[in-house]
Amino acid sequence: MIEILNPAEVARGRETGALVADILQTLKRRTTVGTSLLEIDRWTATMIIEAGAQSCYVDYAPSFGRGPFGHYICTAVNDAVLHGRPSGYRLAEGDLLTLDLAVIKGGVAADSAISFIVGGTGPAESVAMIDATERALAAGIAAAVPGARIGDLSFAIGTVLVDAGYSINTEYGGHGIGSTMHQDPHISNTGRPGRGYKLRPGLLLALEPWVMADTAELVTDADGWTLRSATGCRTAHSEHTIAITEEGAEILTLPRT
């Protein structure tokens, strides 16, 4: 299903997106060496509930997971990249942490992810990988204008990632979003320009470039959820929810604080 939202629904999406962004930035500030992933999950739950919103993850039970997910946020460390299920692991200096959060409020969902180095300093290769996903995300957003096609966004994202030296996994990518977290169209992180669904004002998309340092192959943890690099290499992931407008793409998941 592809939803086209009306202006009032897009406005509610702005509120949800800002909430998601604010929570992620608060979590980044609070997270230090020794913080456990379950602490991050508890902080997230408190902020979502206090805002009168709902997590998209707690009852999430898609065919590819061993559901329900049962937590409020995805926490992926080092070689984990997607659907990281919070555990008692305590973060160490230099860990590469990805926080991926999807929330629904006022009937409209928003989804965003950030990657950062715990303690502020880490290997240069990890910093470069995070930077590549952020630049790829910016390129995809810049390509998201009315009349463009999904393939144009995929091509823009993939060009940045390949030029940075990364191979691309096409099993998981961006997606439509609206009254539910995951909708059509699928947005691969590489593709051919001029192909796919034509963008229209009122369409909400979650763009999410992610890479692994030296592989494109994933393996799944025993928890049935956490996806890791097959080689144990580090990973990074950046994501924004955007709204297509008459003028171009509006980023909904920007922090207010």
Domain presence at residue 2: no
- Burial of residue 244 (CB within 10 Å: 0-12, 13-18, 19+) is buried
> How would you class 28 by CB atoms within 10 Å of its CB: exposed for 0-12, middle for 13-18, buried for 19 or more?
middle
Residue 185 lies in a domain: yes
How far, in Å, CA of 59 to CA of 216, rounded?
Answer: 29
14 within domain boundaries: yes
In a domain? residue 1: no
First and final C-alpha spacing in the chain: 34
Question: In this structure, which amino acid lies at residue 199?
Answer: L
Please check whether residue 256 lies inside any domain of the structure: no
pLDDT at 256: 83
Q: Is the residue at 118 inside a domain? A: yes
The pTM (predicted TM-score) of the whole model is: 0.96
Backbone angles phi, psi at 138, to 5 degrees: -60, -40
Count of domains for the chain: 1
Residue 73 in any domain: the answer is yes
The backbone torsions φ and ψ at residue 134, rounded to the nearest 5 degrees and listed phi first, read -70, -40
R_g over Cα of the chain: 17
Q: Could you give phi then psi for residue 93, rounded to 5 degrees?
A: -55, 130
63 vs 249, which has greater pLDDT? Answer: 249
pLDDT at 65: 78
In one-letter notation, the amino acid at residue 149 is R
CA distance 200 to 243: 9
**Whole-angstrom distance, CA of residue 94 vs CA of residue 11:** 38
Per-residue pLDDT, 257: 65
Task: Kindly state the average pLDDT of the residues 166-170.
Answer: 97
179 is a domain residue = yes
Query: Which residue segment(s) compose the domain that 188 sits in?
Result: 7-251
Predicted confidence (pLDDT) at residue 236 exceeds the cutoff of 90: yes
The CATH number covering residue 161 comes to: 3.90.230.10
Rounded CA separation 9/14 (Å): 9
